């Protein structure tokens, strides 16, 4: 069926209007596309966290839990709300935060984050992802790309070999040209926002650099090249953090003057 040019133009106008109405701004001033409501994201976050608690082994050690929660609580007090913190017995050096105020920490991370300030840099980073609506943005980007591809298929001829090849190329282009760069932007944004959060809680922001040096050492040089990775390279991360540390140290100085001096011991 041949689609009339006027109908195509109308569909583009409707799609563009819907996308523009969902625009927002990140904490660093970057434009964002947010198509999900806060309630929808909270529901997805809560469901995902419940599934993880059923799937993974939860660490029961009181000292480990007290240590992690001491750091997490100091950071989350800066942003408000009641956050659930769970330590999972898993060897991977990982942590995450989800919409609906959930934080998960793998025990393997404690071998890389050598002290409270280094772990605070990771948790500040993960909480920053939530506060900056990165999950919503990622879901929205995926939705927008899939809708765009479906729309393109409707107005072209996907039944032909050339059409199928074009769709395949567009899919690859969308993945590496739209979604992955945004993911790198999310990581860099969360690094800086998270650095401020940990400093406001009284932790030493300079330890964030040591944390990523530890990460680089732990990876054994096996990290993927930056262009093909959703994360910035360790060196890029360290350089960006170092540039922002003077400002973060002023935040820590102010926090310390207010009596915020975390003393979380393993």
- Residue 234 region by backbone torsions, left for phi larger than 0, else alpha for psi between -120 and 50, else beta: alpha
The token duo for 201 is 């809680």
Strands 84-88 and 102-106: parallel
Please, where are the H alpha helices in 21-133?
38-55, 62-76, 116-131
The rounded distance, in Å, linking the Cα atoms of 242 and 240 is: 6
The token duo for 141 is 């980007």
Pick the catalytic residue from 40, 78, 126, 142.
126
Give yes or no: 59 in active site. no
What string of DSSP letters covers 27-51? TTS-EEE--S-HHHHHHHHHHHHHH
The rounded distance, in Å, linking the Cα atoms of 102 and 86 is: 8
The token duo for 32 is 């964002």
Burial classification of residue 127, based on how many CB atoms lie within 10 Å of its CB (0-12 exposed, 13-18 middle, 19 or more buried): buried
Within the chain, what is the greatest distance between any pair of CA atoms? 71
Active-site amino acid positions: 126
């Amino acid at each position: 069926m041949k689609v009339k040019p006027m109908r195509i133009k109308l569909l583009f106008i409707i799609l563009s209007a819907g996308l523009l109405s969902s625009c927002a701004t990140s904490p660093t001033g970057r434009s964002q596309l947010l198509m999900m409501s806060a309630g929808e994201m909270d529901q997805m976050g809560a469901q995902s966290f419940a599934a993880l608690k059923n799937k993974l082994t939860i660490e029961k050690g009181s000292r480990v839990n007290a240590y992690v929660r001491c750091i997490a609580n100091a950071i989350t007090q800066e942003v408000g709300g009641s956050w659930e913190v769970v330590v999972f017995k898993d060897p991977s050096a990982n942590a995450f935060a989800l919409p609906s105020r959930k934080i998960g920490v793998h025990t393997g991370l404690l071998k890389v984050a050598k002290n409270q300030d280094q772990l605070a840099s990771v948790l500040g980073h993960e909480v920053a992802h939530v506060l900056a609506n990165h999950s919503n943005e990622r879901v929205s980007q995926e939705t927008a790309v899939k809708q765009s591809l479906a729309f393109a298929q409707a107005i072209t001829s996907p039944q032909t070999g050339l059409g199928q090849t074009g769709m395949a190329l567009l899919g690859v282009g969308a993945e590496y040209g739209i979604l992955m760069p945004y993911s790198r932007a999310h990581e860099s944004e969360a690094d800086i926002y998270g650095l401020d959060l940990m400093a406001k809680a009284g932790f030493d922001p300079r330890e964030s650099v040591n944390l990523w040096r530890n990460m680089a050492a732990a990876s054994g040089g096996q990290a993927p090249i930056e262009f093909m990775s959703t994360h910035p390279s360790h060196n890029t991360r360290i350089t960006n953090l170092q540039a922002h540390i003077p400002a973060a140290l002023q935040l820590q100085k102010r926090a310390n003057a207010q009596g915020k001096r975390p003393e979380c011991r393993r």
